[in-house]
Chain A
Amino acid sequence: MITAGIDIGSRTIAAVVVENKKIISTKLAYTGFSPVSNAQNIIKNIKADKIIATGYGRTLFEHHFKSDTVTEIKAAARGAFELFPGTRAVLDIGGQDVKALSLNDKGKVIKFEMNDRCAAGTGKFLEIMADSLGFDLETFGEKASSFAKKITISNMCTVFAESEVTSLLAKGENPEDIAMGVHESVSKRALSMIRRVTSSNQIFFSGGVAKNICIKKILENYGFEITAPEDPQAVVAYGAALTAADNLNGE
């Protein structure tokens, strides 16, 4: 049995094809301005017995492709638990959402937190801050890690934080130092979300922001043991593909 999961996030679309719980293929694409046609492109060569959509674009996909859906919360839990059996806590930071989940010993979600509207502490926040500081998103974490001086970014709001960054630059502060402040701020927000759902210190970290080495390091400095999968952006799509298989198996 071959199943697929497609995670239509605010920034990235991930599609994962699974056979017997093993990943056969993973594809990533930008969501862009036309999520439907980009999703169509990414799945056009996929032959699967069942496909399940997840992510913020799941309902759009459901309407266009008559597929079932699952929330990214459940899919993240499913994916994480399969990749790392025994996982009891998941942190997923994506393009526009931050989620913290706690799981029971069977991998079922027992509690979760999610940001309720703004981009504070999300990948989008990091992206905008990287841009204002003149860094590439891909190397933003590395640049921040080379900081020399501690700077606190106090605004959570993306718009306010951007002007805070601008005024820090105008004061002559070092971009690397400000970058570290930005990473600290994202990590603190994630930390408080984690603490609302679990007391565990072992965290499975997924979503695009898990690729950022600086966030991972900061969380480790807080005393967390972080497990990051090889391809953190595909975890939720993998979870959706597994859910599709579960459904076909009558689970």
Chain B
Amino acid sequence: MSTDYKQMWESLGMDIKAHDELLEVLNQGYSDIYLSQKNRPEGMKYFDFVMSEVHGLRIKELVDAKKQGKKVIGSYCVFVPEELVIAADGISVGLCAGADFALEQVENYLPRNTCSLIKSAIGFKIGKVCPYLECADMVVGENTCDGKKKAYETLSEMIDNFYLMDLPQIKNEEGKKLLKNEIEKFKNKLEEITGNKITAESLKKGTEIVNNKRKALHRLQNLRQEKTVPVSGLDALLINQISFYDDPVRFTDSLNKLCDELEERIKNNISAYPEKRKRILISGCPMAVPNWKVPFVTESVNAVIVGEESCIGERGIRNLTNDNAKNISEFIDNITNRYFLIDCAVFTPNEERKKNIIEMAEKYKADGVILYGLNFCQPYTMEAFPLEKELEKRNIPAIKIETDYSQEDMGQLQTRIEAFAEMI
């Protein structure tokens, strides 16, 4: 990224020196993990470009849009309805939570046994290195797990534009009512912050934009179910990650173009990995940029990731929002119905997730499942135990991998994942 952005970063109140160091690590990691891949589709160039400008050009776009009066809404979770943000003429962005930053300082605010994702979110704020967070007009936190819930109390002390969204934990009528109420409150808050009234028309448009993005991602996921794996799991993860940052319409176009190319590749039997590899479904905690650790290890041995049962992956995009609605109230119902289906591990019981994983393992022809959990993420690491048993009962090999954002366990991770690939 060029130095042209320095002024912009400064105007956002960022710590330039710390940010330079972060970018250096990020660029090096990207080059080692991504650009070193062979047999990549041409269409990945767009995503490489977006990634190379993730803290540059994209932020400039946001800053320029803000000058035009648009509002940037940042969030940390797939429960925050993007349809509504777009309907209010706002811009929805995912906030940084994928790398360790200022860890020592974070531990002045959070206990050490907090998951990496939460520590990262706080670390990026303390370090002033997330331009998305710094340029957001509103930061939405959501009551998913206890760790996030309590860490948001800490975060809300550090910023003045924090908004809290409550979420149900049980999928019954009361839970749905709670979610609907929260979605309505969120809509009102968006109208207040943007000064724009959300109408049935604007919601129709917002829903269409978001649904189109989801459909393009579905197309990608469907192509990965083919025998010829046209794109690496690393690249597919990157695309899912970028879907949280990029302009949704441009993203959708670029992804559809890539999918056209992938269809051709499948026809011509061109795979990301020419040799036969074990097909892996990865399931569990979200992997935010630049958390490419486990996929990198997995694809550096004789395996390829064909699907992500994850918030940054299928869980985030599985269902479309029904846009067949005559008025706002019907739209709110449709949005509620759509988001109520998300099988996040904070729900109890969470039988849908079990069903979805088994269905995905079959659809994606997975040879095995990696149950991926961040250390100290109770909801996902706890679900991993019954899930492993359930999968084994169906003769689908599974391995529980618990890790964090550090590099210290790379050797053991590689041995375990490589041995898993040998075994299945």
Chain A residues at the B interface, C-beta cutoff of 8 Å: 56, 59, 70-74, 97, 108-112, 114-117
Question: Contact between B412 and A115 (Cβ–Cβ < 8 Å)?
Answer: yes
* Pair A56/B415 contact, Cβ less than 8 Å: yes
Q: Which residues of A contact B401 (CB under 8 A)?
A: 116
Instruction: Tell me if B409 and A71 are in contact (CB < 8 A).
Output: no
Chain B contacts of A56 at CB under 8 A? 411, 415
A111-B423, A114-B419, A116-B412 known, 11 other contacts, Cβ within 8 Å = A59-B414, A73-B416, A73-B419, A74-B419, A97-B415, A108-B423, A109-B419, A112-B416, A112-B423, A114-B415, A116-B409
Q: Which residues of B contact A112 (CB under 8 A)?
A: 416, 419, 423
CB contacts (< 8 Å) of B422 on chain A: these are 70-71, 73-74, 109
Write the chain B residue with the least CB distance to A115. B412
Is B104's CB within 8 Å of the partner chain A? Answer: no
B412 touching A114 by the CB < 8 A rule? Answer: yes
Chain A residue with minimal CB distance to B414? A59
Bound-state CA distance A73–B419 (Å) is: 6
Restricting to B172-229, which residues have a CB under 8 Å from any CB of A? none
Q: Which A residues lie within 8 Å of B418 (CB)?
A: 71
A70 to B422, CA, bound (A): 9
Q: Mark B358-380, 1 if CB is under 8 A from A, else 0.
A: 00000000000000000000000
Interface check B402, CB cutoff 8 A: yes
User: Contacts of A115 on B, CB cut-off 8 Å?
Assistant: 412
CB distance from A156 to the nearest CB of B (A): 15
Q: Which of A59, A97, A108 contacts B412 (CB 8 A)?
A: A97
List residues of B whose CB falls within 8 A of some A CB: 401-403, 408-409, 411-416, 418-419, 422-423
| Neighbouring B residues of A72 by C-beta, 8 Å | 415, 419
Q: Which residues of A contact B409 (CB under 8 A)?
A: 116-117
Contacting residues, chain A, for B416 (C-beta < 8 A): 73, 112, 114, 116
Closest to B399 in A: A112
Instruction: State the Cβ distance, A65 to closest chain B Cβ, in Å.
Output: 18
28 contacts between A and B (CB under 8 A): A59-B414, A70-B422, A71-B415, A71-B419, A72-B415, A72-B419, A73-B416, A73-B423, A74-B419, A74-B422, A74-B423, A97-B412, A97-B415, A109-B419, A109-B422, A110-B423, A112-B416, A112-B423, A114-B416, A114-B419, A116-B401, A116-B402, A116-B403, A116-B412, A116-B413, A116-B416, A117-B408, A117-B409
The smallest beta-carbon distance between B299 and chain A, in angstroms, is: 15
State the CA gap A110–B403 with chains docked (Å): 23
CA distance A72 to B414 in the complex (A): 11
With the chains together, A115 CA to B416 CA distance in Å? 9
Q: State in angstroms the CA–CA spacing of A114 and B415 once bound together.
A: 9
Measured CA separation A97–B411 after assembly (Å): 11
B residues within 8 A CB of A114?
412, 415-416, 419
Interchain CA distance A117-B411 in the complex, whole Å: 9
Least CB distance from B174 to A in Å reads 38
A107–B62 Cα distance when bound, in Å, is 59
Task: Kindly list chain B residues whose C-beta atoms are within 8 Å of the C-beta of A117.
Answer: 408-409, 412
Are B403 and A73 neighbours in the complex by a CB distance under 8 Å? no
Q: Which of B403, B415, B416, B418 has most chain A Cβ within 10 Å?
A: B415
